[in-house]
A and B are shown apart, each in its own frame.
Chain A
Amino acid sequence: MTREATVLLISFVLGLSLLDCRHGPSSAVPPKPPLPTASSAGDTTKTTACVDAAGGGSNVGTVVAAATAFRDALPDGLRATLQHPLTRATAIVWSNLPVKLVPRTGVRLGDLDAAQSAAVRRLFAAATTTCGLAMLDEVRLSDDVLATVDKRGLKWGAGNFYVAFLGAPSERAPWILQIGGHHLAYNFTFNGERAGATPLFFGTEPTRFTTADGATHEPLREQSAAMIALAQAIAARPAARLSGKFTDVVKGVVINFPPGQPPTGGLDTAFPLNYPTGTSDRGIRVDALSSDEQALVRRAIESYASLPAQSIAGDLLKAYEAPAAFGQTYVGCAGGADLSKVGTYVRIDGPRGWMEFVVQDGIAFPDKPHYHALWRDKESDYGGEAKQ
């Protein structure tokens, strides 16, 4: 089938198929974001210990119970929107981009009523730590700031975040809890072949803002501070300098750009990924660092790994910080080692863990840079369950 004929036919039938595709999240419903309160959003002037947000420690049973309660609180139509099969094709549908550019799977948080919002919040609390829940709240709040300057209909805003179940919530069978929107992607796998906290993307624009209640927010305050402290500590070591420049994270989503067409996509279509091997251009090994510098590496790793509940990320963190693995981890940086400098890039590249942080150009506020951060696991993204 040649291109013109195919395009003619595909356009025709695609249009027809779309006629039957209206069961997804409705864009016509005005957003009703269940905004976190100022206190629940987290006072960023305080240091918060990252304990399980549900209190008393979460386990799979706690998450499954909360997931089931949330599902039961939904009408039939939304239950169908919430529940999807667990396949590679469904798992890779996450992104850092606005939902207008990359529609997300699942139920739109802005479409939930008060009872449903409370139920989904209990689910989020069961699956995250206080830090992970605060990250979700803060990133959504930052998107509300963007919504005030959205002249292109990109669907920024706290209401435009989604939750989906890939596979049925179960204490034994594999399933993924997907929470995502602009600048946030939590993909937590339960009962997978491997512990699955990743891919986990988080970012923010603006990096710091004040809400109407006078509270100041910095969604990535701990992570950006930890990564930049590491970069500043190692930047003077030639072995730690990564070659090249960085305008985004390296192992993030792929934006398709077939010649002659506008860019599309922005999903994890490159999964499974290849990672650097050998010793060249990966930075400096942790076992070559001083104890103070090693402490900075630990702080940076923990700032990422403390977002999911301990039952999800605890084993991963142990694996990353086990003496042998920790010593074999590389840390590297590029750019200015300065949070105000576009192109500042920091990376932790372990036997399993892969954590990136980059300072990017501003999009909504071009004169102010913004942050992207990504955590992947070389062995257990999607818990090893995103198969063909």
Chain B
Amino acid sequence: MTRAGPAAAGMVAVAVVATIIATIIAASPTAEAHPAPSSSVALTFATRSVKAQLLLPVSELTYAMTDVASQDPGSAHIDERALRRYVVAHVSAESHDGAPWSVAVRAVKAETLDDHDYWAVDMMLTPPPDCDVSDLVLVDDAITREIRNHFIFATARASEAAGTAADVVGILQYPASRLSISGTASHAHAARSGFGSRQARISIVLASLASLAILALLAAGGVRSSTAWSRWICLMGESKAPPFRSPRERAAIRPESPRSCRKRLAGGIDAGRSIPG
């Protein structure tokens, strides 16, 4: 290999990776291919409240709000006022002892994601004065109350700080409508302690160093990845979960085969959760 070899190999690798990523993005599923799109709710913890951002597919919501007797799936007309009423009736929060939180709809807007129309609803969930923000039970049966095959994906993150990761904390399908967030209280703890922003800086530095190491290894060994590489990639994939995974849980993570890992990373196999109901 000539002196220019390592740099050239690195640039080629970056170009190839960029092309592959662009191809993957271009090949993303279209909403048209999903006759029954899911909903999502993204929880973001703050010191004294939790922001809930809902995405409700218009097609499913319209069908959900249609009078069963009319037998006409498209007959419901949803305006913003009706949507607000519906959301307040179907989304609430309480503490584990049953104390109700105050719930307010802050904003409603239409969004198009992946060629499918959604209602985006911003809500604020606030516990009673004597309750901790981490003591949260989300109660959400929007659309699932009416449509039995509908799913709600719930995620949570510790704060709004840039770089704070969101974890899938549960998937709701009828008749399940309650999601206890106590198991992920570290979200709230992290929000109070400001853990996220500092971790972000450390992580970016670590990631940069790791990337440089990868480029160096590429230069030394070419771009063809090996079993060891794939295993390392898998372990990095697991790191998406912390800080919400306990040391004991992390110790229980077994090394994964390269083939299984590639499928998991490509297919999102590990995103599923047991669904009550």
A residues with a Cβ closer than 8 A to B are: 1-6, 8-21, 84-85, 87, 89-90, 92-93, 97-98, 100-103, 105, 152-154, 242, 244-250, 252, 254-260, 262-274, 276, 336, 341-343, 358, 360-361, 363
Contact = CB atoms under 8 A, between A and B. Distances in A.
Contacts of A93: 263, 267, 269
13 contacts: A10-B237, A13-B229, A14-B233, A16-B13, A18-B266, A244-B174, A245-B148, A254-B272, A256-B271, A257-B38, A263-B114, A270-B274, A272-B274
B37 to A, nearest CB: 6
A16 B226 CA distance: 10
B17 A11 contact: yes
Contacts of B274: 270, 272-274
A106 to B, nearest CB: 12
Contacts of B63: 245, 247, 343
B265 to A, nearest CB: 6
Interface string B229-256: 1101100110110100000000000000
Contacts of A336: 71
B205 to A, nearest CB: 8
B275 A259 contact: no
B53 to A, nearest CB: 6
Instruction: Tell me what chain B mostly uses at the interface: helix, strand, loop, or mixed.
Output: mixed
A17 B262 contact: yes
Contacts of A89: 260, 263-264, 269
Given A10-B265, A21-B262, A343-B63, 10 more contacts: A2-B164, A5-B200, A9-B211, A10-B236, A10-B237, A16-B17, A16-B218, A20-B226, A257-B37, A265-B267
Contacts of A267: 267-269, 272
A39 B207 CA distance: 60
A42 B114 CA distance: 39
B28 to A, nearest CB: 5
A1 B240 contact: yes
Contacts of A273: 274-275
A245 B67 CA distance: 11
The 6 A-B residue pairs whose C-beta atoms are closest, nearest first, are A269-B272, A15-B17, A2-B163, A259-B42, A5-B203, A5-B207
Interface residues of B, number: 95
B151 interface: yes
A contact patch SS: loop
Interface in B83-131: 113-114
Contact of B267 (A8, A14, A103, A245): A103
B30 interface: yes
Given A2-B165, A97-B33, A262 B28 contact: yes
B11 interface: no
